[in-house]
Structures are given as structure tokens and as C-alpha cells.
Amino acid sequence: MKNTIDRRKFIKNSVVAGAAITIPNIVPARAFGANDRVNVAVLGVNGRGKSHIKGFMNLDNVQVTTLCDPDMVICRERAQDFEKTYDQKVATVQDLREVNDDPDIDVVSIATCNHWHALATIWACQAGKDVYVEKPGSHNIWEGRKMVEAAAKYDRIVQHGVQLRSSKAIREAVQLLRDGYIGDVYMARGLVFRWRPSIGDKGFEPVPEGLDYDLWTGPAPMQPFTRNLVHYNWHWHWDYGNGDVGNQGIHETDLCMWGLDVGLPTKITSMGGKFLWDDAKEVPEVQTSIYHYPEEKKMIQFEVRNWCTNLEDGAGVGNIFYGDKGYMVIKGYETYETYLGREREPGKSGKEGGDHYLNFIEAVRAHDKTLLHGPVETAHLSSGLAHLGNIAYKLGRVLTFDPSSERFVNDPDADKMLTRNYREPYVVPDEV
């Protein structure tokens, strides 16, 4: 491992030393075998990683060869499940840096905690791997931009895990919006109504056997081990997660921006709080954010509700688009409905999914990022929208943002929240 770390330091220092120096890929740009098989390593196998394994193993000539998780108890359990399901063995690795050092791995699929997504993506790009990364692509806005820079610099294929972008019905729905089917579309609403019970407060305890807690913590500040964080409840703590707007909500922030054909907004406000549970969660249980685009005359409303609620025209998790001739309801990942005029007459509708993993692998084989349905730029923007809402919530006031510079306007307190203090050696570099 020492040689691995020394080489990594050399690469980082070389990039910082001179912008004119070009660091070549550690492995060739593409080195598939004669049978064109794509070898995949899945990072983080406790939650969404299970879906990644299944998604890739369902594809022709794609092989999950390695499972990686800082918790080796979970990693070995998942390897046993893999052997039972597919009648073949899979390698288990604790440290993702070992994955990047393996020249036989073509693709790194990232399903770690949010606070690891950007750095894991950047390291993989530097190692010459193509990347599928779960939502949100980033934990903060600054590192999202670094992901975009890394993908471009190392010429990597990076797909964001917002699978509704590969749904045939949702793609049809967005085209209808573009074609003016519901008229001039001026507003989108994103809805995340999920049942999120109390997590209590489990206090501190010794680190369990098999878990490399330093590695799990990675870029975040180190604190005593607690099951308030590991393994799922990190979603509800700011140092690791982004609340539900940055969890389930990224599918919807992405669709809001895609459907309205906008980037990051110039005016943001957000309000909410913890009204239900006296537990260890830090993020709001109820939150409403408003994103205003004055020049485009468009607006996004985003709502998080964590317990009993009505459904909005049947969409508890989804989107609603409003035009001057009607509105469109997106339900989940593969269904849309339209309603026209004052009488809300049913219009066009559709229900059909797609295969986001397949779309990614097709782009990988062709080494053509234009084939991607969810390229890294969309990861940065859709995650960035959630981050802006959370910053406005924390500061409790209306914020003015400059999308061109990706900085707030005369607001140093808000600017500080665009990034974080990274814990050595898990640092997102200024120069990727």
C-alpha cells in the first residue's frame, strides 16, 4: 500500500507543480480484452450498491469482478450473496485505492456515502477508470465542479445515477415540454414525500470489528463512532449527507432543471425544520425551497415531507410542470400524465422505463460521452440545486447567486458553504 500512496502523492504534487504538465492516464484510455468484456468494481455495497451489482450483472459481457466497502463484514456478506446468485466468486477489497490500482478494472461504480462521491470519482478518473456515480454526484458545489474538470481532463466517461433520464416515457415527456404541449412552461415542482421515522439517539460506542472507520469517515471530520451515522443514517447529518432533497430529491431536482431547460438559479430561499422527532437527525424533516430564474421567467419549488401527507395528483415522489395550456405530472421514474385546460382534460401519458446501466456501458464501449443520458455535468448541476437550497435553509435568508462564477453575490458567509475543510489524506484537490 505504501507504493500506492507514494505514487498518488507524486501524481498530485506533479499536477500542482505546473499547470503545463500533462499527466497521462495510469492505464490506457481503453484496454478491453478481445471479447470486449467490461470489468466493474462496485464501491459501497450496503445499500444502493446491491442495485449496482444487479444492474451490471444483468448486462451482456459485463462482469462485476470486485466488491469494495470499508466494512469488511458487509463486503464478505455481499460476496457470499453474489456467489449464491451468480454461481461465481467475486473479489473483496476494503480500500477503494486498491481498486484504482487494479489495471483489470475498467469501470468503478460508486454507491458510497455522499461525502465520498466526488473524491472517489476524481481518484477513479485519475486512474483511467470510467465511472458510474450515485446521486448526489457531489456533497457540495465546489467539489461537483472538480468532478466535471476531472472527467474532462482525463477523458473519462462519467454517468450520474439518475435512472429516470434513461426512462423512455420520461424522455418523451421532456420532449413534450420542449414542443410546447402544455404551453409555455414557467414552473416546476419537485416532490419528496417519504416515510422517515425517528432514528433516536444511539450514542457513542467502540468501532465494530471489520470496519475501517477512518476510511469510512474519509473527507469528513472524525468523530467517535455512532450508529446514528453508520450505516444508513448518515443521510440526516450535514457532514456526510444532504437530507432528502440531496437523497431521493436529486432525481427530482435533476428533472426540474431538465424539464425547464435551466441551469443554476440566481435567487434562492428555503424554510423548514424538525417538527416531528426529537432524535439525532440534523437535517429538516419538512423543507420547502424556492429557486427563481428572473431572466428566464421560470421558477422551481421543491418540497420535502417526511411523514403523513397527501399526494399531489398521485405524485408523492415526482414532479409537476406547469404551462399556460396545462400541466404534467411525473410519477416515480417511468410514468407521466398530462392535463389540459381549465377542465383538466386528460392528455398524453406514458409509462415505460429504461436501462441506465446499459446506456452507460454503451457509452463506455464507444468511449463517447455524448451517448450518456446523465453525464457528469448534470450531476454537478442537479446536486448543486439541492446544495443551494440547503445553504439558504441554514442561513435563513434569501440568497443571490451568480451561476457563471458559481459564487454568491457579496456574501462571504454563503460562499464558505460552497465547499468544506477536507481531512487529510482524503482531500479533493484544487487542481484535479
**Predicted pLDDT at 7:** 35
- Sheet order of strands, 91-93 included: 91-93, 62-68, 38-43, 107-110, 130-133, 158-160
**Predicted pLDDT at 191:** 98
2-164+357-374 and 167-201+243-353+386-414: identical CATH topology:
no
242-280: pLDDT as tens digits: 999 999 999 999 999 999 999 999 999 999 999 999 999
**Predicted pLDDT at 217:** 98
Q: How far apart are CA 281 and CA 75, in angstroms?
A: 27
Helix axes 249-260, 168-178, angle to 10 degrees: 40
- Kindly list the averaged pLDDT for each block of 10 residues, start to end, along the chain of length 432: 37 33 36 74 97 98 98 98 98 98 98 98 98 98 98 98 98 98 98 97 98 98 97 97 97 98 98 97 98 97 97 96 98 97 98 98 98 98 98 98 98 98 98 97
Task: List Cβ<8 Å contacts ≥24 apart for 356-359.
Answer: 356/55, 356/159, 356/161, 356/162, 356/163, 356/165, 356/166, 357/52, 357/55, 357/56, 357/58, 357/59, 357/132, 358/59, 358/166, 359/159, 359/166
**Predicted pLDDT at 363:** 98
Q: How far apart are CA 406 and CA 408, in angstroms?
A: 7
Q: How far apart are CA 206 and CA 193, in angstroms?
A: 35
Please state the three-class secondary structure of the chain as a single string. CHHHHHHHHHHHHHHHHCCCCCCCCCCCCCCCCCCCCEEEEEECCCCHHHHHHHHHHCCCCEEEEEEECCEHHHHHHHHHHHHHHHCCCCEEECCHHHHHCCCCCCEEEECCCHHHHHHHHHHHHHCCCEEEECCCCCCCHHHHHHHHHHHHHCCCCEEECCHHHHCHHHHHHHHHHHCCCCCCEEEEEEEEECCCCCCCCCCECCCCCCECHHHHHCCCCCCCCECCCCCCHHHHCCCCCCCHHHCCHHHHHHHHHHHHCCCCCCEEEEEEECCCCCCCCCCCCEEEEEEEECCCCEEEEEEEECCCCCCECCECEEEEEEECCEEEEEECCCEEEEEECCCCEEEEEEECCCCHHHHHHHHHHHCCHHHCCCEHHHHHHHHHHHHHHHHHHHHCCCEEEECCCCEECCCHHHHHCCCCCCCCCCCCCCCC
**Predicted pLDDT at 16:** 33
Choose among 427, 6, 7, 430: nearest CA to 218: 427
**Predicted pLDDT at 215:** 98
Q: How far apart are CA 123 and CA 135, in angstroms?
A: 17
Domain map of the chain by residue range? 2-164+357-374, 167-201+243-353+386-414
How many CA atoms does the CB half-sphere of 298 hold within 13 Å?
Answer: 21
**Predicted pLDDT at 319:** 98
**Predicted pLDDT at 323:** 98
Assess if CATH 3.40.50.720 describes domain 2-164+357-374.
yes
- Domain 167-201+243-353+386-414: assigned CATH number: 3.30.360.10
Choose among 261, 288, 241, 285: nearest CA to 135: 241
State the pTM of this model. Answer: 0.91
